[in-house]
Chains A and B, each alone.
Chain A
Amino acid sequence: MRAIILTPLFVLLTGAAAAHHGWGSYDATRPVTVAGPIITSKFENPHATITVRTSEKVWTVTLAPTSRMSGRGATAQVIAVGQSVSAYGYPSTVEKDEMRAERITVDGKTYEMR
Chain B
Amino acid sequence: MTDAAPAIFLALEQSGFGAAIRQSRWLYPAANIGHIVSLVFFAGAVAVMDIRLLGGLAATKPRQVLARARSVAIAALAGMAVTGFMLFSAEASHLVLNPVFQLKAALVAAGLLNVAIYEFWARRAVEDLAPGAAMPPRARLAGLLSLGIWVAVAACGRSIAYF
Residues of chain A whose beta carbon lies under 8 Å from any beta carbon of chain B:
1, 5, 8-9, 12-13, 16-17, 19-22, 24, 42-46, 65-67, 70
Given A5-B148, A42-B22, A46-B22, 13 new contacts (CB under 8 A): A8-B152, A12-B159, A13-B155, A16-B100, A16-B163, A21-B161, A21-B162, A22-B161, A44-B23, A45-B21, A45-B24, A45-B25, A45-B90
Given known contacts A9-B152, A45-B21, A67-B25, A16 and B159 CB-to-CB distance under 8 angstroms: yes
User: Known: A45-B29, A46-B28, A67-B29. Contact between A24 and B162, CB under 8 A?
Assistant: yes
Q: Which chain A positions have C-beta within 8 A of B91?
A: 46
- In this assembly, does B33 line the interface, its C-beta being within 8 Å of a C-beta of chain A? no
Interface positions, chain B 106-163, Cβ under 8 Å from A, are 144, 147-148, 151-152, 155-156, 158-159, 161-163
Cβ-defined contact, B152 with A12, below 8 A: yes
**Are A70 and B163 CB-contacts (below 8 A) given A9-B152, A46-B91?**
no
In the complex, which residues of chain B have a beta carbon less than 8 angstroms from the beta carbon of A67? 25-26, 29
Residues of B within 8 A of A1 (CB): 144
Across the interface, do B25 and A66 meet the contact criterion of CB distance under 8 Å?
A: yes
Could you list which residues of chain B lie within 8 angstroms of chain A, going by C-beta atoms?
21-29, 90-91, 100, 144, 147-148, 151-152, 155-156, 158-159, 161-163
Q: Which residues of B contact A66 (CB under 8 A)?
A: 25
How distant is A55 from chain B, measured CB to nearest CB, in Å? 27
- Bound complex: CA A21 to CA B90 (Å): 17
Determine how close the nearest CB of chain A comes to the CB of B147; give it in whole angstroms: 8
What's the minimum C-beta distance from B85 to chain A, rounded to whole angstroms? 15
